[in-house]
Chain A
């Protein structure tokens, strides 16, 4: 059986989540490996969510927020950009493959971009294979 990765998506309510909805209503096709959790803003994302997701078996984590300058709360994603950049560096120095974590800015009108990013990221994670380093073995 081919490897079907589990990918956690964390999307902000105002842009990326709405963009995902748009991708759905316009019936765009994208892989079903993504499980999306909606948060009010990308700055709501505690970096520990990402570490924990990998421990609980995620093969990849995709964070989506509004484009810088477009955050519903004005500056949320500007803080998030710095914070998540640090998260990425920490994952990398711990020995985790950095390609398993990605941040993308996807607006409410970019249903296309949402579908493209998910397709491409899923392909990338498939190539990387199962994530075993952080995963807690049951």
Chain B
């Protein structure tokens, strides 16, 4: 059964209007018109009349959890969340960046989302591959069922099988393309540090101009900072103007964290992020 994006859009509008009218929230993070159909934009509705500007279609890939951390603590807000986006919200709750009670989550079961750049359908190859939000207050539509369940880590096999030199060459070629526009960190719901380590001058962690060494430092450290936190929404890679498959590295680190610590990011508000946690009986084998 195909999802009707129009129906979701209508429900989003109604919910947003209701929430803003009753004053339950002071803003709604959703999507609005861009310069054409294929490029909807993040949109913040603040007045009930703003709700009419909300749109939803298969190109609304942005992770709106990204914008929650911009508002002062305690701001009551509603957020439109697709599957991975809801995991980002959960992760941000775990990190005490937002409080559950301040949020109204408008869950969107979305199947058949498309990458506006390539027109490809987004699935487990570039994201976590879930279709239903993990956490929500209102579900705007019926849950998606009956889609094949594919591990989001399957796509890694061919890269894991490469020998070290080939893998190094692969990443060097990819990371050398980086123009350091920082769209990846801007799109990422988990990149909220101010300042980002790479913008610091004392100490200066890496070269700031777009060249091999600085790019390597920026990306390896960013992959590390997202370990156990990246919820595999794939937004970083879709935002990248030079199409670096950042999601591959993030997936690999997520997979390793899941293997080593037995917990995936953003699946339960009860969890603690794996790297600010430990078990006394963690095995030394993980260091081998």
Chain A contact residues, CB within 8 Å of chain B: 47-48, 51-52, 55, 68-69, 75, 78-79, 81-90, 92-97, 102-103, 105, 133-134, 136
- Asked whether B206 lies within 8 Å of A94 as measured between CB atoms, the reply is no
Q: How far is the CB of B276 from chain A (nearest CB, A)?
A: 7
- A93 to B161 alpha-carbon distance, docked (Å): 11
- Among B38-46, B58-66, B214-222, the one that faces the other chain is B214-222
Q: A93-B167, A95-B168 are in contact. Are A82 and B280 (CB under 8 A)?
A: no
The one of A51, A52, A81, A90 in contact with B286, judged by C-beta atoms closer than 8 angstroms, is: A81
For the complex, what is the distance from the CA of A85 to the CA of B253, rounded to whole Å?
11
Contact residues of B: prevailing secondary structure: helix
B287 touches A93 (CB 8 A): no
* B221 with A93: CB separation less than 8 A: no
Contact between B287 and A85 (Cβ–Cβ < 8 Å)? yes
Shortest C-beta distance, A93 to chain B (Å), equals 5
**A103 touches which of B170, B220, B287 (Cβ 8 Å):** B287
- Chain A residues closer than 8 Å to B171, beta-carbon distance: 94-95
Query: Is the contact region of chain A dominated by helix, strand, or loop, or is it mixed?
Result: helix
* B205 partner, pick from A48, A68, A82, beta carbons under 8 A: A48
Q: Which residue of A lies closest to B166 (CB)?
A: A95
Q: Which residues of B are found within 8 Å of A84, using beta-carbon distances?
A: 287
- Taking Cβ atoms with an 8 Å cutoff, the residues of B that contact A are 159-160, 164-172, 197, 205-206, 213, 216-217, 220-221, 223-224, 227-228, 249, 252-253, 256-257, 260-261, 274-280, 282, 284, 286-287
Pick from B216, B221, B249: contact of A47, CB below 8 A.
B221
- Minimum Cβ distance to chain A for residue B285 (Å): 9
User: Closest 4 A-B residue pairs measured CB to CB?
Assistant: A95-B168, A78-B278, A85-B286, A95-B167
Contact count A vs B, C-beta below 8 Å: 98
Q: A81-B286, A82-B261, A95-B164 are in contact. Are A87 and B224 (CB under 8 A)?
A: yes
* Residue with the highest number of chain B CB atoms closer than 10 Å, among A83, A85, A93, A96: A93
Most buried by A among B164, B220, B286: B220
CB distance from A9 to the nearest CB of B (A): 16
* CA of A61 to CA of B249, assembled, Å: 22
Residue of A with least CB distance to B252: A93
B167 touching A55, Cβ below 8 Å: no
Q: Is the CB of A51 within 8 A of B217?
A: yes
Q: How far is the CA of A88 from the CA of B282 in the complex (A)?
A: 16
B287 cross-chain contacts in A, Cβ below 8 A: 81, 84-85, 88, 102-103
A29 to chain B, nearest CB (A): 27
Complex contact B205–A90 (CB within 8 A):
no
Given contacts A55-B213, A95-B169, whether A82 and B220 have CB atoms under 8 Å apart is no
The complex places the Cα of A1 from the Cα of B164 at a distance, in Å, of: 28
Contact of A90 with B165 at beta-carbon distance under 8 Å, contacts A52-B206, A81-B282, A95-B170 already known: no
Taking a contact as CB atoms under 8 Å apart, the answer to whether B260 and A82 are in contact is yes
The answer to whether A133 and B168 have CB atoms under 8 Å apart is: yes
- Which residues from B are CB-within-8-Å of A105? 284
Q: Give the contacting residue for B284; candidates A55, A81, A90; CB below 8 A.
A: A81
